[in-house]
């Protein structure tokens, strides 16, 4: 669930750096896992956009870190726990790099808002630190719309307490998607320009209030179906135990979404996509990899994808060990995805169903055409999101995730290849 239309501002950022971020205190937020099933194959796709883009604003510098465990739902939703209010009222939220607002369902939600009744709801009367704001907000996602009012209260996240944040109390949520979605709400980790009503994103608030050393965070998304945990969100830096060094840093080209330049994409030895270079967004709120429809059709032809419906493609499970690698050239480095990485497997008893992790979508210009590198990519490669400061621009660091033996279960190895 992440947003499109990008701002007009285009910044030229420093060249590629292959260095590790400086040491800092890390805050860990575990992500929980929900075992996959078939019933919502089509419901959790899509990425959203803010109802309107607020004024351009410069990201805030800062310096102090944290960790949030993540859970996952159908290998499509990764989420962790936060608290709001005093004493904290607990909610599960999707940590979304494609949006910048925090919202949860409200105790005051409309009777007609069915999703509200299937999730935890914030009760302002139960919090001694609640401050009313009352400004109305609306966020339009690709999977539905959320309307409500803004409020202010204390945020608890990964052991950090006492941050005063403005967040949305959702009074109405549309569509079945929000009803079946496991998380209660969304915590956006995009740039301030994406935040509706000019609200300061939670990451900025943590840095400004001295609760986080650096405006840096990283995601380790565990996609191994045999392991219970869903991974970890690390605030303030990254944990080298999650990845195989070195990190390759690529500059952010538009500081709104986490947008970078992708030089090209190879499917096996024959097919080249994004041949002249293209824009790509790293989005934890999108479960799959999205690319222009014509190119994704060519990709599926190369990997033997069988059309299902609504843009879905089936992959023959028995063919997985024989399928070609899909390689993305980012920052002068090839990042390979094997079929084990890009095929989403649903297993229930003796039943096994394999679905392609690629979707075709033509995003109009601006900001398209572009690719969206969602959880299929971010499960294979740990991403370190660094907002930078007044001296250095924003950047994203990438390194192969340590996958607890997943690379040994078959298929090709997928270490990053270093080429010019």
Known catalytic residues? Answer: 96, 283
Q: Rounded CA gap, 235 and 156, in Å?
A: 13
DSSP reduced 3-state for 239: coil
Closest CA to 240 of 27, 400, 394, 96: 400
Helix (H) or strand (E) holding 33: strand 27-34
Closest CA to 168 of 141, 139, 205, 209: 139
DSSP reduced 3-state for 346: strand
Supply the DSSP string of 31-97, one letter for each residue.
EEEE---STTTTTT----EESS-----PPPP----EEEEEEEETTTEEEEEEEETTTTEEEEEEEET
3-state SS record for 137-170: EEEEECCEEEEEEEEEEEEEECCEEEEEEEEEEE
Closest CA to 94 of 233, 195, 235: 233
Closest CA to 118 of 78, 176, 74, 188: 176
220 touches 155 (CB < 8 A): no
**What count of other Cβ atoms lies within 10 Å of the Cβ of residue 107?**
14
Give me the residue label for tokens 């565990």.
Answer: 222
């Amino acid at each position: 669930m992440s947003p499109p239309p990008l701002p007009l501002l285009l910044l030229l950022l420093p060249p590629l750096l292959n260095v590790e971020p400086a040491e800092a205190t890390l805050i860990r937020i575990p992500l929980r896992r929900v075992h996959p099933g078939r019933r919502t194959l089509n419901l959790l796709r899509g990425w959203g956009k803010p109802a309107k883009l607020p004024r351009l604003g410069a990201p805030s510098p800062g310096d102090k870190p944290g960790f949030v465990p993540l859970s996952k739902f159908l290998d499509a939703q990764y989420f962790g726990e936060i608290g709001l209010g005093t004493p904290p009222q607990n909610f599960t939220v999707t940590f979304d790099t494609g949006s910048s607002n925090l919202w949860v369902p409200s105790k005051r939600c409309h009777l007609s808002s069915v999703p509200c009744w299937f999730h935890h709801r914030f009760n302002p009367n139960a919090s001694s630190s609640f401050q009313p704001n009352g400004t109305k907000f609306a966020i339009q996602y690709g999977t539905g719309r959320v309307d409500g009012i803004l409020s202010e209260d204390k945020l608890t996240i990964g052991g950090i307490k006492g941050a005063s944040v403005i967040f949305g109390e959702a009074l109405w949520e549309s569509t079945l998607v929000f009803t079946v979605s496991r998380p209660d709400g969304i915590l956006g980790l995009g740039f301030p320009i994406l935040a509706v009503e000019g609200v300061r994103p939670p990451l900025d608030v943590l840095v400004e209030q001295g609760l986080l050393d650096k405006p840096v965070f990283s995601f380790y998304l565990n996609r191994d179906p045999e392991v219970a945990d869903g991974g970890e969100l690390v605030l303030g830096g990254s944990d080298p135990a999650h990845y195989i060094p070195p990190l390759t840093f690529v500059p952010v080209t538009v500081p709104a979404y986490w947008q970078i330049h992708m030089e090209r994409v190879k499917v096996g030895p024959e097919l080249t996509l994004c041949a002249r270079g293209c824009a790509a967004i790293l989005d934890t709120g999108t479960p799959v990899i999205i690319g222009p429809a014509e190119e994704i059709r060519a990709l599926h032809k190369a990997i033997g994808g069988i059309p299902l419906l609504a843009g879905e493609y089936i992959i023959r499970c028995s063919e997985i060990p024989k399928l070609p690698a899909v390689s993305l050239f980012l920052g002068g480095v090839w990042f390979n995805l094997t079929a084990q990485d890009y095929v989403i497997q649903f297993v229930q008893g003796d039943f096994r169903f394999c679905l392609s992790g690629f979707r075709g979508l033509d995003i109009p210009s601006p900001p398209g055409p572009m690719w969206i590198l969602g959880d299929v990519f971010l499960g294979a490669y740990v991403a370190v999101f660094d907002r930078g400061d007044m001296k250095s621009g924003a950047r994203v660091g990438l390194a192969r995730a340590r996958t607890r033996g997943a690379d040994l279960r078959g298929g090709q190895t997928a270490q990053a290849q270093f080429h010019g």
